[in-house]
Amino acid sequence: MPWWCSTRTASRSRFPVEADRARGFAALETRIAYRFVRGELLELALTHRSFGAHNNERLEFLGDALLDFGIAEHLYRRFPRLREGDLSRLRASLVRGETLAELGREFGLGDFLRIGKGEARSGGRARDSILADTVEAILGAIVLDAGADTALAVLGRWYEARLVALDPGVSHKDAKTELQEYLQARRLPLPVYHLTTQSGADHKLWFCVECQVSVLALPVEGRGRSRRIAEQQAARAALKQLRLQGNA
């Protein structure tokens, strides 16, 4: 029997799941396409280090390792003619924090996170890094609950639409990187990003960012559930403006 299966009969007492949260977890488990045998593992996966010493960092470590392997295997099988460099580029686009944070929002993880009060007040429930880490922690929790094979199958369901939509011939660099490389290639000043507004409840914050590019007459705007997403949207808008002007 694999080592991870031996943990199934462990006690639930260290991380008891409150009755009302357990009911809410049923909806979350539907979204992540997996129902836990040991509910306390899901509870632990949702516990940020700001909440206390018993948190999801070790599960995140485990999930991160399986994520890299699982996505690599899916890409290897799906694109038998691609070279190693192209496979690595596609994998990087799928396992980066921004993609994981998007998954976290699709799952609605922000409503279930256990985070410290200070982290919550600063918008932690919508922060890309926390959501991305939590997705990895949930994957690690599934490994402990049911084994690596089951976790890999669940990972495939999470990424199915993204894998189907992949086009190896398209650049998968994020918009900020594309904009920076475009400006550097033309020896132009790098873009400058300014946070202009931040609004909404702690767990539903919206950020508005302006991007200033020297060859554009006016700054362009981006909005998102995190500052990082807003900056990416602003960079995407800047690239669009440059293309309309014939500069990209």
Which of 136, 145, 210, 231 is catalytic? The answer is 136
136 is catalytic: yes
Phi/psi at 220 (5° precision): -110, 160
Which of 64, 119, 145, 174 is catalytic? The answer is 64
106 is catalytic: no
β-pairing, 206-212 with 192-199? antiparallel
Cα distances from 35 to residues 56, 73, 88, 248, in angstroms, run 18, 24, 31, 48
Active-site amino acid positions: 64, 136
